[in-house]
């Protein structure tokens, strides 16, 4: 990591993931690890996740439950 906090993704990984210059990556922390994902991958995963939600469950309730589960998985042990 540079002094300015910039990261360089090695060329082999960029090729394997099909990343192009200027492509947007979304960052999140999971279990103490930094996860970088192409924006399209995150959007596709969200569409798939919410298209499978039962019609009996409101979308708002599903999002809240998902956020709570994600937050619980990210908490570090005391």
pLDDT tens-digit map of 31-66 = 999 999 988 888 888 888 777 655 566 778 888 888
Q: Which residue range is the domain that position 19 belongs to?
A: 11-74
Q: Is residue 64 part of a domain?
A: yes
Q: Is residue 46 part of a domain?
A: yes
Query: What pLDDT sits at residue 54?
Result: 54
- pTM: predicted TM-score of the whole model, two decimal places: 0.53
How many domains are contained in the chain?
1
Q: Is residue 39 part of a domain?
A: yes
Query: What HEC string does the chain produce?
Result: CCCCCCCCCCHHHHHHHCCCCCCCEEEEEECCEEEEEEHHHHHHHHHHHHHCCCCCCCHHHHHHHHHHHHHHHHCCCC
Q: Is residue 28 part of a domain?
A: yes
Percent of the chain with pLDDT over 70: 87
């Amino acid at each position: 990591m540079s002094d300015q906090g910039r990261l360089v993704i090695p060329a082999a990984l960029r090729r394997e993931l099909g990343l192009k210059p200027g492509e947007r990556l979304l960052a999140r922390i999971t279990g103490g690890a930094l996860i970088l994902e192409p924006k399209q991958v995150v959007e596709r995963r969200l569409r798939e996740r919410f298209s499978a939600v039962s019609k009996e469950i409101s979308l708002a309730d599903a999002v809240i439950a998902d956020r709570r589960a994600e937050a619980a998985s990210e908490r570090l042990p005391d």
